[in-house]
């Protein structure tokens, strides 16, 4: 039995393995809040997405089975071969307790960045409501703001109750959020959040959803992904329309942003701070860092994480030779051939099948309890 790790009155700051710089982070945002007096129907496909966003709202308190136990030292139930330092001299020098902490810190770092990214997505989607000129996009972005609040609530609870430690926002993710929110152009929150940060998160969630053997993280990841699939579709839809009319100079500016953002996202995945937080010596941190850079598993993982970004960038019309060269340098150019629509349908189906299996099992359990009660009454 694994008891809840955090009492309700404790501050998240008490969970951070390394100090957060500030209790709040203020980003100066430029640009205009745009009202529109055009209340016509709008684009059918955008309004259909808005309707779906309303229909698919859910409550994390009720939909997720928080009674499921989680071993904080084996959060995802995946083999140690996925750990960058596995089978290195550093790994072999560690006793089992140190290795347990490596597993726990790895999961805590990963889910902490998911949490901070979701808060960033909530703020960016609220920013889209404020700045986008057309009403149908404002409508949909309002539903996304609620989705992102639910995701942040869910990941925060998972870290607090099931893992028991957390990490502050990674500096690379923070830098990309800063660039995204401080730009005055209304399309940049779409490009930075819906395409880059959400696209990367969606792929990361998908990899972990598919490999975890633990039911609670699988539920969380599957249900969050069901929402995120709509969010990326929203960004594609809005930007594909707008980017058809960009000048060459405007297109180049956005491609520069995408290239820089993708390098930031790639570097974010190294997670060096988790080794520093575990009390390793400078030499051991150096060994861990070198193992991360050599890890074939992490190389493949990083490549898979761009499976949603690269085809989306191509789809919205940012696909110059310069951009393709950057993706080739990252080793992810071949991801351009991924079928985004098929991936999104799969995300929806997995969440729905998970619900069906869970509720069927609960119905069977209730039926068995009723039958047992009837039998007891008959025998009395």
DSSP E strands in the chain: the ranges are none
Which of these, 133, 154, 128, 173, lies nearest to 60 by C-alpha position? 154
Q: What is the pLDDT of residues 50-104, one digit of tens each?
A: 899 899 999 999 999 999 999 999 999 999 999 999 999 999 999 999 999 999 9
Which of these, 234, 21, 11, lies nearest to 124 by C-alpha position? 234
- Rounded Cα distance between 278 and 122, Å, is 31
pTM of the model: 0.86
Q: What is the pLDDT of residues 287-337, one digit of tens each?
A: 999 999 898 888 888 788 888 899 999 999 999 999 999 999 988 999 999
198-211 helix and 296-305 helix, angle to the nearest 10 degrees: 130
Burial class (CB in 10 A: 0-12, 13-18, 19+), 124: buried
Structural domains of the chain, ranges and CATH numbers in brackets = 12-19+43-349 (1.10.620.20)
Contact 207, 76 (CB under 8 A): no
Q: What's the pLDDT at 107?
A: 95
Q: What is the pLDDT of residues 222-272, one digit of tens each?
A: 999 999 888 888 888 889 989 999 999 999 999 999 999 998 887 777 778
**β partners of residue 56:** none
Q: What's the pLDDT at 379?
A: 61
Confidence class of residue 1 from pLDDT cuts 50, 70 and 90? low
């Amino acid at each position: 039995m694994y008891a809840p790790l955090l009492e309700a009155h404790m501050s998240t700051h008490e969970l951070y393995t390394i100090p957060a710089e500030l209790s709040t982070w203020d980003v100066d945002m430029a640009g205009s809040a745009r009202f529109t007096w055009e209340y016509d129907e709008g684009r059918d496909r955008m309004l259909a997405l808005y309707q779906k966003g309303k229909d698919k709202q859910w409550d994390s308190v009720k939909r997720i089975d928080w009674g499921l136990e989680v071993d904080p030292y084996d959060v995802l139930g995946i083999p140690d071969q996925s750990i960058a330092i596995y089978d290195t001299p550093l790994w072999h020098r560690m006793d089992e307790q140190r290795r347990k902490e490596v597993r726990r810190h790895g999961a805590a770092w990963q889910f902490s960045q998911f949490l901070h990214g979701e808060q960033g997505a909530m703020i960016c989607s609220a920013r889209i409501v404020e700045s986008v000129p057309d009403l149908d996009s404002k409508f949909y972005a309002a539903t996304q703001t609620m989705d992102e609040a639910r995701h942040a609530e869910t990941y925060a609870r998972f870290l607090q109750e099931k893992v028991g430690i957390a990490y502050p926002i990674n500096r690379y993710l923070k830098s990309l959020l800063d660039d995204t929110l401080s730009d005055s152009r209304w399309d940049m929150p779409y490009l930075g959040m819906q395409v880059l940060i959400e696209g990367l998160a969606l792929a990361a969630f998908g990899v972990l959803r598919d490999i975890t053997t633990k039911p609670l993280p699988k539920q969380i990841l599957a249900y969050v992904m069901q929402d995120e699939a709509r969010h990326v579709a929203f960004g594609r839809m809005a930007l594909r329309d707008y980017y058809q009319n960009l000048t060459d100079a405007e297109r180049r500016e956005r491609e520069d942003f995408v290239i820089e953002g993708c390098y930031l996202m790639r570097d974010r995945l190294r997670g060096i701070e988790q080794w520093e937080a575990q009390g390793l010596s400078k030499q051991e941190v150096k060994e861990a860092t070198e193992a991360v850079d050599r890890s074939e598993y992490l190389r493949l993982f990083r490549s898979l994480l761009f499976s949603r970004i690269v085809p989306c960038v191509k789809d919205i019309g940012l696909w110059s030779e310069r951009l393709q060269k950057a993706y080739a340098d990252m080793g992810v150019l071949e991801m351009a051939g991924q079928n985004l629509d098929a991936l999104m349908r799969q995300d929806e189906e997995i969440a729905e099948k998970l619900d069906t299996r869970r509720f069927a099992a609960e119905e069977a359990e209730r039926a068995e309890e009723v039958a047992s009660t009837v039998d007891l009454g008959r025998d009395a």
